[in-house]
Amino acid sequence: MILASPAEFLIEVQSGRLAGLDVGTKTIGLATCDAGWAFAGPAETIRRTKFQKDLAALTAFVEANGIVGLVIGLPLNMDGSDSPRTQSTRAFARNLAPLGLPVLLWDERWSTTAVERAMIDADVSRAKRAEKVDAMAAAHILQGAIDALVNLTPDS
């Protein structure tokens, strides 16, 4: 179920490991956070194929990591409006209903750029950046969400 606000998400999931997803056209970057929502880290990248195979890979990831909720990066235009990618991400999130997990869509503007800049500053090779950027972007998205969530109260 896609929840409209962080407060609604917090009511559904008050603790436990979350997964962050950076959904692209070719890959899905995955990240996880600790059960106390203190820090997020990159996990893996799934190469997208057919949706049923993507769903099976996500199901295995969720089960293996004890995930209780999903934070999916929402690619908005710079002015905050929806784009065609925004709509496809919303559709992808709706199609994750078989997982039975609460879903929070989180503004991902600048996430990939921020991660790429940090990796360049750390002198990570272009090949390694390409290999890691999606999972790192998912961690960046998830960290932003958990930072906001820990400052909410369930009734705010």
First to last CA, the chain: 20
Question: Is the Cβ–Cβ distance between 57 and 45 less than 8 Å?
Answer: no
pLDDT in tens, 31-46: 999 999 999 999 999 9
- CA gap 86, 77 in Å, rounded: 8
Indicate the burial class of 8 (C-beta count within 10 angstroms; 0-12, 13-18, 19 or more).
middle
Q: Is residue 155 part of a domain?
A: no
Mean pLDDT of 83-112: 90
pLDDT value at 155 more than 60: no
Antiparallel, parallel or unpaired: β 67-74 and 40-47:
unpaired
Mean pLDDT of 100-117: 81
CATH assignment of the domain containing 87: 3.30.420.140
Q: Is residue 27 part of a domain?
A: yes
Please report the pLDDT score of residue 119 as a whole number: 63
Q: Is residue 92 part of a domain?
A: yes
Q: Is residue 78 part of a domain?
A: yes
Domain ranges, residue 67: 2-149
The total number of structural domains that make up the chain: 1
Question: Is the Cβ–Cβ distance between 69 and 103 less than 8 Å?
Answer: yes
- State the average pLDDT for the chain: 88
Q: Is residue 76 part of a domain?
A: yes
- CA gap 132, 129 in Å, rounded: 5
Backbone angles phi, psi at 14, to 5 degrees: -95, -15
pLDDT in tens, 119-149: 677 777 777 666 677 888 999 999 999 999 9
Mean pLDDT of 1-19: 88
Listing DSSP states for 41-63 in one string gives EEEEEEEP-SHHHHHHHHHHHHH
Q: Is residue 104 part of a domain?
A: yes
Please report the pLDDT score of residue 53 as a whole number: 96
Q: Is residue 66 part of a domain?
A: yes
Return the higher-pLDDT residue of 118 and 99.
Answer: 99
Q: Is residue 156 part of a domain?
A: no
Please report the pLDDT score of residue 152 as a whole number: 81
Residue carrying the six token digits 């078989």? 98
